[in-house]
């Protein structure tokens, strides 16, 4: 077994599009004059290959959005990067997100990298027609004359099965599903090589959710983009993601190809997430996990899952388990799986 390595088989052949290495990002807040760190992203390493859909899962407040913001460089106080690197490879060129001038990072965001934020339906200006949002966000970055720009926007909308007539609507005239589809069209009109989507379907009902997921998959297939896809909903990962990373209390605890994760999860927390999924025809009650997710301001020592873990041993409260390769594409951080050697 190889410990904490960024060794995944496909990456050996091609450069990964994203390499996140030992990333730490904390929110530092002041309470009664004393600094307090909320360790939302704590030593996370992962890679995303070209054309891959990498899913990030974990319960609420586990740090998924903080991880995404840190990866795309959308970092505002009190969030700050404590350690680690984030590197993208676009069109054969490498970009270190934390070693770039803000204007260069901004240009990369539009040309190569698209970020669909959690609650992103709200990026559409409520008092202006949708065409103004397209113009404000995308025109300057596409280097086209106006007529060609609008042709391209309309083509993109049609390709995504959206009537170009939406451009003349106000956001409130559209249903939630249409608003989200329009937001995704806006975020992808510059044909990015890398798309980051944070809970893009969470606010939608199941039927509309299915539509929006199909649209995201079509875009990914058409553009051949890599995708970092965040949702707490494991059933969505089962249908969308090629590979899934499970985050618990600011740390990655398991990562595997989706079929492996759903059929052969090894970390007790992942096993619980998978077992909690409803199964057709099964009416037995699912056992819930004891306890509550920990505070990231004062997380448990050692393995952060130990107060809730049915397999916890002595070492678990003392030492931090590191991500260890069980196979080249399956990593887990758990002493019960890898042996109790820190």
Ligand X SMILES: Nc1ncnc2c1ncn2[C@@H]1O[C@H](COP(=O)(O)OP(=O)(O)OP(=O)(O)O)[C@@H](O)[C@H]1O
Is 334 near ligand SF4 (CB under 6 A)?
yes
- Options 59-67, 275-283, 284-292, 301-309: segment touching ligand X (CB under 6 A): 59-67
CB burial class (10 A; 0-12, 13-18, 19+) of residue 268?
buried
Residue closer to ligand X, measured from CB, 60 or 288: 60
Q: Which of 3, 47, 44 is nearest to 24 (CA)?
A: 44
CA distance 241 to 259: 10
Total of residues contacting ligand X (CB under 6 A): 16
Min dist. Cβ of residue 19 to ligand X (A): 21
Q: In the chain, which ranges are continuous DSSP H helix?
A: 9-13, 64-72, 102-111, 130-134, 140-142, 146-159, 176-188, 206-223, 234-240, 258-264, 268-275, 335-338
Min dist. Cβ of residue 293 to ligand X (A): 9
Residue 63 interacting partner from Mg ion, ligand SF4, ligand X, none (CB closer than 5 to 8 Å by kind): ligand X
Is 321 near ligand SF4 (CB under 6 A)?
yes
Residue closer to ligand SF4, measured from CB, 185 or 234: 234
Is 38 near ligand X (CB under 6 A)?
yes
Min dist. Cβ of residue 133 to ligand X (A): 24
Residue closer to ligand X, measured from CB, 231 or 260: 231
CA distance 146 to 136: 12
Extract the tokens encoding 146: 């106006």
The 10 Å Cβ neighbour count of residue 238 is 16
CA distance 25 to 83: 7
User: Contact 36/161 with Cβ under 8 angstroms?
Assistant: no
Binding positions for Mg ion, 88-147, rule CB under 5 A: 118
Q: At what angle do helices 176-188 and 206-223 cross, to 10 degrees?
A: 10
Per-position DSSP letters for 186-212, written without gaps between them? HHHTT--SEEEEESTTTTS-HHHHHHH
Q: Which of 55, 51, 69 is nearest to 11 (CA)?
A: 51
Is 252 near ligand SF4 (CB under 6 A)?
no
Q: How far is CA 86 from CA 95, 106, 221, 226, 335, in A?
A: 8, 15, 25, 15, 28
Min dist. Cβ of residue 60 to ligand SF4 (A): 20
CB-side neighbour CA atoms (13 Å) of 21: 12
Residue closer to ligand SF4, measured from CB, 171 or 321: 321
Residue identified by tokens 């969308």 is 240
Is 250 near ligand SF4 (CB under 6 A)?
no
Min dist. Cβ of residue 59 to Mg ion (A): 10
Q: In 8-145, which ranges are continuous DSSP H helix?
A: 9-13, 64-72, 102-111, 130-134, 140-142
Tell which one of 17, 45, 65, 183 touches Mg ion (CB under 5 A). 65
Residue closer to Mg ion, measured from CB, 65 or 183: 65
Residue closer to Mg ion, measured from CB, 64 or 330: 64
Q: Which of 96, 88, 44 is nearest to 194 (CA)?
A: 88
Is 64 near ligand X (CB under 6 A)?
yes
Residue closer to ligand SF4, measured from CB, 179 or 304: 304
Min dist. Cβ of residue 317 to ligand SF4 (A): 8
Is 231 near Mg ion (CB under 5 A)?
no
Min dist. Cβ of residue 32 to ligand X (A): 16
Binding positions for ligand SF4, 277-316, rule CB under 6 A: 303, 305-306, 309, 311-313, 316
Binding positions for ligand X, 268-327, rule CB under 6 A: 296
Using CB under 6 A as the criterion, which residues of the chain lie in contact with ligand X when the complex forms?
A: 27, 29, 38, 40, 58, 60-66, 78, 118, 232, 296
Using CB under 5 A as the criterion, which residues of the chain lie in contact with Mg ion when the complex forms?
A: 64-65, 118
Using CB under 6 A as the criterion, which residues of the chain lie in contact with ligand SF4 when the complex forms?
A: 267-268, 303, 305-306, 309, 311-313, 316, 321, 334-336
């Amino acid at each position: 077994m190889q410990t904490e390595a960024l060794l995944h088989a496909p990456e050996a052949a091609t450069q990964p599009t994203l390499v996140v290495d030992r990333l730490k990002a904390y929110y530092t807040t002041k309470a009664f004059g004393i600094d307090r760190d909320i360790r939302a992203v704590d030593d996370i390493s992962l890679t995303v290959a070209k054309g891959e859909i990498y899913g990030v899962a974990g319960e609420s407040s586990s740090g998924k959005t903080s991880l995404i913001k840190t990866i795309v460089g959308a970092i505002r106080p009190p969030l700050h990067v404590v350690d680690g690197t984030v590197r993208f490879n676009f069109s054969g060129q490498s970009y270190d997100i934390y070693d770039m001038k803000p204007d260069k990072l901004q240009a990369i965001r539009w040309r190569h990298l698209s970020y669909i934020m959690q609650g992103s339906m709200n990026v559409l200006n409520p008092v202006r027609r949708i065409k103004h949002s397209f113009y404000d966000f995308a025109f300057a970055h596409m280097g086209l004359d106006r007529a060609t720009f609008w042709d391209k926007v309309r083509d993109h909308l049609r390709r995504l099965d959206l009537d170009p007539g939406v451009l003349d609507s106000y956001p409130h005239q559209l249903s939630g599903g249409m608003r989200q589809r329009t937001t995704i069209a806006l975020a992808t009109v510059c044909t990015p090589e890398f798309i980051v989507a944070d809970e893009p379907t969470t606010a939608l009902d199941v039927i509309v959710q299915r539509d929006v997921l199909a649209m995201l998959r079509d875009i990914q297939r058409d553009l051949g983009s890599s995708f970092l896809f965040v949702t707490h909903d494991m059933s969505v990962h089962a249908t969308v993601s090629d590979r899934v990373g499970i985050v618990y209390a600011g740390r990655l605890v398991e990562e595997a190809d989706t079929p492996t994760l759903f059929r052969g999860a090894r970390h007790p927390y992942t096993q619980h997430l998978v077992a909690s999924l409803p199964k057709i025809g099964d009416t037995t009650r699912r056992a819930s996990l004891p306890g509550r997710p920990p505070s990231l301001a004062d997380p448990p020592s050692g393995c952060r899952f130990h107060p809730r873990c049915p397999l916890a041993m002595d070492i678990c409260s003392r030492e931090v388990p590191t991500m260890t390769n069980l196979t080249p594409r399956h990593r887990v951080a758990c002493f019960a799986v890898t042996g109790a050697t820190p």
